[in-house]
Chain A
Amino acid sequence: MSNMKKEPEKQRSSKGRRLSKEKHSSENRSLSKENRSTENRDLSKDRRAIIKLAVTLFLITSITAVMLAGVNALTKEPIANLKIETRNKALLAVMPNSTVLEDKTFTTETLTIFTLERPNGSYGYCVEVAPYGFGGPINMIVGIEVVMNEGRYEKRVVGVAITSMQETAGLGTKANDESFLSQYNGLFYPVQNEDGTLNISPSAITIGRGDVDVDAITGATVTSLAVNRGVNTALDAITVNAEGQVTFDGSVDGTSGATTSNSEDNSTSMYLSFSSMDDIWEVA
């Protein structure tokens, strides 16, 4: 410790000497060889000082990195567990008392569809999407069931839950309020038109104010629109044919809501995860 205390003093004094010498040498730059050799010595001293600085900074950075690695190792597991726990909690909040059928989970790069067995024996689908909000992706889960209504199938929103977001605290975070999210419950999208043909237009739950399906949050329009886009995307990701058979559409982009690639590619990606025909089930 005593060595360390002396160091800055030494440095300072040598610096002072160097400064005066530099002044001196610049004045008589071309005069004598002696001066030039002291300049060289100064340069090597400078170099040593710079290396010392670099080494010190490197040491500080490495110690910090090691410390962070320790904290990371300590918290990695709880964080990962918490993420799964939040996800499962959100799945069950959307569809209470259901069991997640892990082997029937369908994943693309931008969305995940969980299949749940509901208490009455029917299947429910929870689509995990991440539309881009005001401050980054809003991770949300949209619960959808397929039901028969007046002879026609429809995709109906059972519930919406937000698992994580980076929206403005106090404004955008209101998207997580029950009063906003519950507006989606029961909204539906008919699978068939009235004449029996398949309804292929994309889902369009409207949001805003006035004559719309969902009232937007005041002061958080971007967030509200993002959540709405997420719900519409989720509805589109689940395709139902006229017989009520459910397939998952991998072409839907869960981050933006736009359909990315052509449908042929997606059907293959779809069947990759559902190898046998038994895996495409009828809605009870």
Chain B
Amino acid sequence: MRFYQHSLELYQTLEEELDSWFMHETKGLMWLAHTETQMRAERARSLLNLACGAETVMITPQEAKALCPQLDLSGGGRYPVLGASYHPAAATARHDRVVWAYAQGAMRRGVHVVQHTRVTGLVRDGERVTGVETSAGRISASVVLSAVGGSVSTVAAHAGVRLPIRTHPLQAFVTNGYDFPFAGIVSDTELLCYVSQTERGQMLIGAEYDAQPSYSLRSSFSFLQSSAAKITHLLPFLRDLRILRQWTGICDISADFSPIMGHTGVDGFLVTTGWGTWGFKAIPAGGEQMAQLIATGRAPALIEPFGLERFASDQTMADPGSTGTH
């Protein structure tokens, strides 16, 4: 949680630092709860957030309705809203703009970014990893960091490393334009889906990742069907909109829903993975802390608990709640 909070602070100044605009906008995020158990979980979430300096409050159904007038508090009769946790500082940003801004910033500082090149293997000298085999030839390096999403197990297999990672597809879709403002981001603890409005006014709807691991980027109709059914219980106005576009990406989900950063047990080969569906908010801090790790050879205190060794030493993270904040 502290790690993510640090990341959010870095985001605040990132636009200025990289000299580019990526639509970073503070919107506020609410997690709706429909049962006593979920209320308890949300209370725990808000207290944890508060303790780590991320302001989160419990709100009543009426307050939720005031923040988001489109909400049906009876949940279509099936999912009545008992309350919600509200995190006012939650923000969204345009993901591809962040990627490009980072790439440009890195190139200005003399980093080579090689595009359209596939990693085909790792160069090994005895037990050490000393470089990367790519479709464009061999690149030597004293330290190799795998920061790939999704296919990380395939890269790690080249070094003979197995990871506690499974790759799941995550789907989302947008509707056509909605002419009225929609406040913030609405998520639901029972239905596991979220809604927000894009800069263009389209409604963005996403849900949990697919149950079976897969590297396929194919979108499915059953996803559209199930998430549309879920979300119209809470936000009936969505029924009048049409689905415009649907897409799928693959996520690396770790066994304890927290990222894995650091050494792998093979000399010269590091990973940062397990970012699942929530890694976006952690980009600035993840990058900064990993750079420190590579430069000093030792994990900084902020990411020390995220090492791969935690699985062997029975110190897995009990922090899935953090992934759903911000």
Q: Is this pair of chains taken from one and the same complex?
A: no
**B residues near A, CB below 8 A?**
none
**A residues near B, CB below 8 A?**
none
